[in-house]
């Protein structure tokens, strides 16, 4: 991936991601991939022994391992500017995203958060005001936007190669929560707990990725929806499956399928966008391939690293053609973009929007999608406007 190199690394802290956590390790691998970011401190777990064990595993001095995030921000702010962390990566369960981000901004640190951004939509809206007041940077790891072929698809839609968009079909299906026994894992337990996950499990965990991908590639916005969410497995309080009909701001129609009880599915995220001239298709489990299809000529298979591509695509490629650009690399692209934003911030330079990580506006729309789908599913009314505040659940 092409970027502006510097002799000094961007210093990162982390909240969450202790031993036994899945996503923290993914974030650390991604942040480390390009050698531009250094993990210097953390409040890795509410269990301080776990936090200390994690710090030791990661070669973080015990003096930079903190019992809680408030202590970390206070102590890091006291360090010389050349030593303290510059941004914090938030990889906790959902209910902690807002308080951690708020405390970080108030202490003067940039924030890169796992999604969803907050526990509620109103928190996301409040967070935008906090960000603006702080003057700091905020990024959100909508991972799939970091894939090179997603960037290529986005560029081709923007260039008009599909014509006018008429329909979008996006699917994100998994099978890992298909059985009652699956709830025993650490990853499942908090996602199915309304006190930690929020109002939704499936839509909040993976459906929001599908909605973000549809809006990102198409350049459109959801304006209406009709939703059917439910827990398929008996005894669950939150949805593990759902279908959403969509209307976009240009009149295009859409369908979004999201499920965590689809037996045999691994991580089946795929999207098809249809226009008046052509259509495109991309699948996360075959990430190096983008298909363009037509009515009047053969389909075109576009491969990562082969031939000409959009500038944003080229910037996100790391390997020669034929070598998969996968999940860690997509995550790393977002970390690299955010690191560049921090470098530009430090010299009062505005980073080109095309190479910025997703931000607070995507965060707000993501939370709005989650809460709108839940509210719509509970209603007997068919179509609901896509509201950005004050949704009654």
Residue range 330-349, pLDDT digits in tens: 999 999 999 999 999 999 99
pLDDT value of position 351: 84
pLDDT value of position 123: 97
Q: Where are the beta strands (DSSP E) in the chain?
A: 10-16, 37-43, 87-91, 110-113, 138-140, 165-173, 222-230, 241-248, 253-259, 268-275, 279-283, 289-293, 300-303, 384-385
pLDDT value of position 354: 72
* Among candidate residues 291, 281, 292, 251, the one with its CA nearest the CA of residue 164: 251
Helix (H), strand (E) counts: the chain: 13, 14
* Among candidate residues 250, 271, 242, the one with its CA nearest the CA of residue 168: 271
Whole-prediction pTM: 0.94
Average confidence (pLDDT) over 298-316:
96
Residue range 136-189, pLDDT digits in tens: 999 999 999 999 999 999 999 999 999 999 999 999 999 999 999 888 888 888
pLDDT value of position 315: 92
More confident residue, 392 or 144: 144
For the chain, the distance separating the N- and C-terminal CA atoms, rounded to the nearest angstrom, is 43
Cα-based distances in Å from 195 to 66, 85, 181, 206, 211: 24, 30, 20, 18, 24
**Percentage of the chain surpassing pLDDT 70?**
97
Position 327 pLDDT exceeds 80? yes
CA atoms lying within 13 Å on the CB side of residue 74:
6
Q: What is Dmax (Cα atoms) for the chain?
A: 66
pLDDT confidence of 392, banded at 50, 70, 90?
Answer: low
Could you tell me how far CA 66 lies from the centroid of its own chain? Answer: 26
- What is the Cα–Cα distance from 208 to 171, expressed in whole angstroms? 11
- What is the Cα–Cα distance from 370 to 214, expressed in whole angstroms? 15
**Percentage of the chain surpassing pLDDT 90?**
91
Q: Which domains does the chain have, with CATH numbers?
A: 10-143+348-358 (3.40.50.720), 148-319+366-376 (3.30.360.10)
Average confidence (pLDDT) over 223-235:
97
Average confidence (pLDDT) over 278-297:
98
Average confidence (pLDDT) over 285-299:
97
Retrieve residue 60's tokens: 């973080």
pLDDT value of position 393: 57
Residue range 23-45, pLDDT digits in tens: 999 999 999 999 999 999 999 99
pLDDT confidence of 3, banded at 50, 70, 90?
Answer: very low
Position 6 pLDDT exceeds 60? no
Indicate the average pLDDT of the chain.
95
Residues paired with residue 385 on neighbouring β-strands, in sequence order: 224
pLDDT value of position 331: 96
């Amino acid at each position: 991936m092409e970027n502006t190199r510097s002799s000094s690394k961007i210093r990162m802290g982390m909240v969450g991601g202790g031993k036994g956590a899945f996503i923290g390790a993914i974030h650390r691998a991604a942040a480390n991939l390009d050698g531009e970011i250094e993990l210097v401190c953390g409040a890795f777990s509410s269990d301080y022994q776990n936090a200390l064990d994690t710090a030791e595993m990661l070669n973080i001095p015990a003096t930079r391992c903190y019992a809680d995030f408030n202590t970390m921000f206070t102590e890091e702010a006291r360090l010389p500017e050349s030593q303290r962390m510059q941004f914090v990566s938030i990889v906790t369960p959902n209910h902690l995203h807002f308080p951690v981000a708020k405390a970080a901004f108030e202490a003067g640190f940039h924030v890169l958060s796992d999604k969803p951004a907050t526990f509620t939509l109103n928190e996301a809206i409040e967070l935008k005001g906090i960000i603006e007041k702080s003057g700091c940077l905020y990024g959100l790891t909508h991972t799939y936007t970091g894939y090179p072929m997603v960037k290529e698809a986005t560029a081709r839609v923007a260039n008009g190669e599909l014509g006018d968009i008429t329909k979008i079909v996006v699917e994100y299906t998994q099978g890992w929560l298909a059985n009652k026994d699956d709830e025993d894992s650490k990853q499942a337990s908090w996602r199915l707990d309304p006190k930690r996950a929020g109002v939704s499990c499936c839509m909040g965990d993976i459906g929001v990725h599908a909605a973000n991908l549809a809006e990102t590639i198409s350049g459109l916005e959801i304006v209406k929806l009709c939703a059917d969410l439910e827990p398929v497995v008996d005894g669950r309080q939150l949805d593990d499956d759902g279908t959403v009909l969509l209307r976009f701001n240009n009149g295009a129609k859409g369908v979004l399928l999201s499920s965590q009880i689809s037996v045999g599915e691994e991580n089946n995220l795929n999207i098809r966008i249809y226009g008046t001239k052509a259509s495109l298709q991309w699948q996360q489990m075959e990430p190096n391939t983008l298909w363009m299809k037509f009515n009047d000529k053969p389909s075109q298979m576009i491969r990562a690293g082969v031939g000409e591509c959009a500038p944003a695509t080229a910037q996100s490629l790391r390997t020669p053609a034929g070598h998969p650009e996968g999940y860690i690399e997509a995550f790393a692209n977002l970390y690299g973009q955010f690191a560049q934003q921090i470098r530009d911030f430090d010299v009062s330079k505005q980073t080109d929007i095309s190479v910025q990580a997703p931000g607070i506006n995507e965060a707000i729309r993501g939370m709005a999608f989650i809460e709108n789908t839940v509210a719509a599913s509970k209603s007997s009314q068919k179509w609901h406007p896509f509201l950005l505040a004050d949704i009654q659940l």
